[in-house]
Structure formats: structure tokens, C-alpha cells
Amino acid sequence: MTVNTVSEVQTTQKEPERERRIFTSRPTQVLWLLLIVFEAFLSLRFVLKLKGAKPTSPFAAVLYVFTGLMRLRMFQF
């Protein structure tokens, strides 16, 4: 009895959505990175506020200004 094994498989069909998937992959990664950085800064701001950091210290002042620009103003009346 002979055993046939396949050593290499080649596909001849094209994936119609492959190019679109590759094209949208990089912008999606950049968007996720920006959202993670945004969330990290807001979390750090929350921790500094919770600990009572002085707003006059250089690090806290820069963080407060930067996150103040990013905050959504929809809940401020």
C-alpha cells in the first residue's frame, strides 16, 4: 500500500477582501494606540487628583493641561 503525502499546498483563488483588510489594518492599529495613550493619561490624571497632587508641580501641570484639552466637554454645563 502506498501512502501519498502532500508536501506543499498552493492556492490559486484570490481573496477579494484581503487587500482591503491589509489597507485598514494599519489605521486601526494607530487608532487603538491613540486610545490606549488617551486612557493612560486620563488614568494618571485620576490617580494624581485622588492622591492630591499639587497642580503647581511641573509634571501635574503639564498632565492637567494636556488631559484638559482632550476631555469631552459634553458633561460640562
Interval 9-38: pLDDT, tens: 676 677 667 666 666 778 888 998 988 998
pLDDT at 75 over 60: no
Give the span between the Cα atoms of 68 and 45, in whole angstroms.
10
pLDDT at 5: 75
Cβ contact 42:13 at 8 Å = no
Locate 31 and state its grid cell.
487608532
Q: Are 41 and 66 in contact (CB under 8 A)?
A: yes
Predicted confidence at residue 8, as pLDDT, reads 76
pLDDT of res. 20 = 67
